[in-house]
Amino acid sequence: MREALGNGRVLLDEGFVDGRVVLVEDGKIVDICGMGDARIADAKRVDLAGALLVPGFVDSQVNGGGGVLFNDNPSVETIRTIGAAHRRFGTTSFLPTLISDDLSVLLRAIGAVRDAIAGGVPGVAGVHLEGPFLSEAKKGTHDPTKFRDLDRDAVAMLSSLEVGRTLVTLAPEETTPDSIAKLVRSGVVVAAGHTNATYDEIKAAFDHGLTGITHLFNAMSPMTHREPGTVGAALDDERSWCGIIVDGRHVSPVVLKIALRAKRRDRFMLVTDAMPSVGAEQPEFTLQGKRITVKDGICVDENGTISGSAIDMASAVRNTVSMLEVPLEEAVRMGSAYPAEFLGLGHEIGRIAPGYRANLVAMTERVEVKQTWIDGK
């Protein structure tokens, strides 16, 4: 049945617009029309009660939620639980994220994502493999005993996953530009993270198809006055998308505001790097044998090392407005349109426009989520 979502303010490309109705049918947006359109008479009316209607959020880095962690049990049920937890906060597309682990766990995770997509688990857009091709010098919370080389067999395996969008975070200095190019040619989205690469090494990776920066500033070579490092290369290169965690703890809001002035804003995307505590009353959990405690909105291990976040996408959007002084409509795009473009999905999600999937969020101006739709449901 066709639905007509009206009596709200709709975020279109030109900004928030009043007096528009969004027509949805068969999981897609049919049209955006005026209140007097004849097609509304035959549709089921959905009263938005003055809420803002925005594109569903797209999160490319989700380790856990709802009390479960993908690394602990890489299964369809885990993915379903994570998706349901994050949906409450406006996320309608996400990549279950596996941090560096044994090859057997990696293969189980890939199989679980494949089965979840085939089984229609709401919101699953692919998989994010954050490692194990990383730098020990910037390991963060990752277990360096799990690291391995991106050899010919690994490239072949990653190039044939067929699990929606495959995002691989790696350290460019631990592989070769040719290996990165082979992954990109096969359809893999490649990002740099947990890397101690020099500016020149990152630039070479960009030239061979690397397009993403995983959690900018965290676990990477910093920008200094003589060696710009990964951070300098990321801010200097207009082609790349930078994932940012806006919780006020991973990165100083002042530093993020400076970054936003250094580069086109549509090349920044919000990520949560979320752990099991999102959507669950869970003050601690175990990550690969380490006890992780949720403290002041972040997750830390026994040594105080940051180990993911406790933030959700609605909070990330809200913080982007309050901490970074970004207009609400642009903050929403940083959580929807821009990550969709990064993943190569900008033609089907991330905007409210005819032909796009009906992945939508009704929320207040304070970014309090009232309702979500994934493929019209």
Handedness of CA 141, 97, 62, 187 (dihedral sign): positive
CA atoms of 158 and 359, how far apart (whole Å)? 28
359 annotated as a binding-site residue: no
Q: DSSP readout, 32-93?
A: EEETT-GGGGGSEEEE-TT-EEEEPEEEEEE-EETTEETTT--SHHHHHHHHHHHHTTTEEE
219 annotated as a binding-site residue: yes
Find out whether 34 and 350 touch, Cβ atoms under 8 Å.
Answer: no
CA atoms of 373 and 377, how far apart (whole Å)? 5
306 annotated as a binding-site residue: yes
Residue 273 annotated to the active site: yes
Please list the helix, strand and coil fractions of the chain in percent, rounded to the nearest 5, in that order: 30, 30, 40
Residues 6+ apart with CB under 8 A from 151: none
142 annotated as a binding-site residue: no
240 annotated as a binding-site residue: no
Q: Which of 101, 247, 273, 312 is catalytic?
A: 273
Find out whether 10 and 358 touch, Cβ atoms under 8 Å.
Answer: no
229 annotated as a binding-site residue: no
Binding positions for Zn(2+):
130, 194, 215
Residues of each annotated binding site for substrate: 141, 218-219, 226, 250, 306-308
Residue ranges of the annotated binding site are 130, 141, 194, 215, 218-219, 226, 250, 306-308
Active site residues: 273
